[in-house]
Structure 1
Amino acid sequence: MIQSKLLQTFKGVFHIFPDRSDQQFTIASKQKKPPLSMVEQVHGKKVLFLKGKNDSLGKGYDGIITDVDHLDLGVRTADCLPIFLYDPIAQIVGALHAGWKGLYAGIIQEAVKKFQTYGGNTSSMVIAIGPHIESCCYSVDKGRVDKFAKNGLGKVSFYRKGKWYLDLGQIATQNLLSMGVRSKRIDDVSICTSCHQEYFSYRREGKKGGRMISRIGLRL
């Protein structure tokens, strides 16, 4: 397992980005009921604000935010980005499941707006991006590259040996910066799930692979 060095500096929040060996934080088989508050994850942009303890799946959502102490939030990933948001002044936390579809749809923008609705501020927000498929392994078709180019993003792709590669972490970072989050308050742990066997990877393993459950919660 790994933690964000930036988030670790704050006493009011707990978080973990697990690997496949951390069985209590993974889904390797079907599971009827999640062990913490999670959402359905449909590769969209909707973000749910959770007002009380609830361990059922929020239908149609890919993000979840709360200001409730000791109410942990979780996201399931195996190449997509697990993104944690924390405002140490407003004491709000959030967890996002962000694949290329969610990033293109604007899930980060939606999450930041939702934080602001409940008293959060981009000047105090802290972001941690967990292990995900990095540009070294994320080959895509030219059409997907063009989608993000039309969004006005900077260099988020490159061409190598006849293939296009997309940098999802850089897309997320640029979206956060465009919303006013400070660069020094964004931490990408920069671990590629496809390169490293200790992580589940949909690109490497397909549907048979499991999922990591990344977790964050307030500890006030």
Structure 2
Amino acid sequence: MTLEILTADALAPLRHGFFTRRGGASSGIFAGLNCGAGSSDQSEIVAINRARVAEAMEVAPEALCSVHQIHSADVVTVNAPGPHGKADAMVTDRPGLALAILTADCMPVLLADTRAGVIGAVHAGWRGALDGVLENTLDAMEALGADRADTIAVIGPCISQAAYEVGPEFLDRFSAEDPEAEWYFANGTGDRYLFDLPGYGLRRLREAGVGQAEWTRHCTYAQPDLFYSYRRSVHAGEADYGRLISVIRL
């Protein structure tokens, strides 16, 4: 099956993509394009899937750069192929390198200042977004010569507010650190709330001064034929879940 890749007009003409789960070699609960080496899927199959992604991005497999994601606000500057340690975002100004982020409900965010020739890729869950990973990525891009006013940021498929139920302690934590975050919580059942993760991400990006920020408006939880979802796998009682990949290159 052919890979299915979602793209954003705003990031054209850069080669980029939010890959769906379609077109991969994995089977069972991972069926499709599982690119998560941290999953219990067969490592050889994950390598095949990543090689297909690299081919689609027109880079060698080793030029598909990644980090060991830890839900932090840490950003690394990538100057050469290979793995790049523990962090949750990468930036580069080197043509031929592809920045790859894995998600399964969290926000994949691809950024570019095409005039300066600087790109970034971010894994942003609620913790990373609250702790400043998006702002830190813009800082790291500016260190390479980017201008945030010329930077475009696109949030890819992630969990939508309708599917993201949280407890009151979650709201309390956000309110303590970012009072304006209360705007992104809606009342749910009983004492539960529904959190708007992409809406919150867009607000943080826009307040940080990016020239343009948008969300593709795809919900990972609601579309099992297209996307992996950590929360959906928990609700289904599955032992593990696949990871989606999002990539950008100069």
Deviations 1:164-185 (A, max 9, x none): 0111111111111121113xx1
- CA-atom RMSD, angstroms? 1.7
Shift of 1:146: 2.1
What does residue 178 of structure 1 align with?
A: 207
Structure with more relative contact order (C-alpha pairs < 8 Å, separation 6 or more): 1
More helix by share: 2
Alignment of 1:1-220 (within 5 A): 1-7=5-11, 10-11=12-13, 13-23=14-24, 26-27=34-35, 29-31=41-43, 35=61, 36-52=64-80, 54-56=81-83, 58-150=84-176, 151-154=178-181, 155-162=183-190, 163-182=192-211, 185-197=212-224, 198-206=226-234, 207-218=239-250
User: Over residues 111-156 of structure 1, what are the superposed CA-to-partner deviations in whole Å (9 max), with x where a residue is unaligned?
Assistant: 1111111111111000110000011100011111222223133511
> Which AA in structure 2 matches 1:76?
L
Percent identity between the two aligned chains: 27
| Residues 32-51 of structure 1 deviation map (CA, whole Å, 9 limit, x = unaligned) | 76641000000001000011
Amino acid at match of 1:21: R
Q: Which runs of 5+ in 1 are unaligned?
A: none
TM-score, normalised by the number of residues in structure 2: 0.79
One-letter code aligned to 1:164: Y
Q: Greater CA radius of gyration, 1 or 2?
A: 2
Question: Deviation of residue 15 (structure 1)?
Answer: 0.7
Q: Structure 2: which 5+ runs fail to align?
A: 26-32, 51-60
State which drifts further: 155-164 or 129-138.
Answer: 155-164
* Contact 2:92 2:144 survives alignment (8 Å): no
* TM-score, normalising length: structure 1: 0.90
Distance apart, 1:30 and its partner CA: 4.4
Moved over 6 A (4+): none
Distance 2:205 2:95 in 1: 25
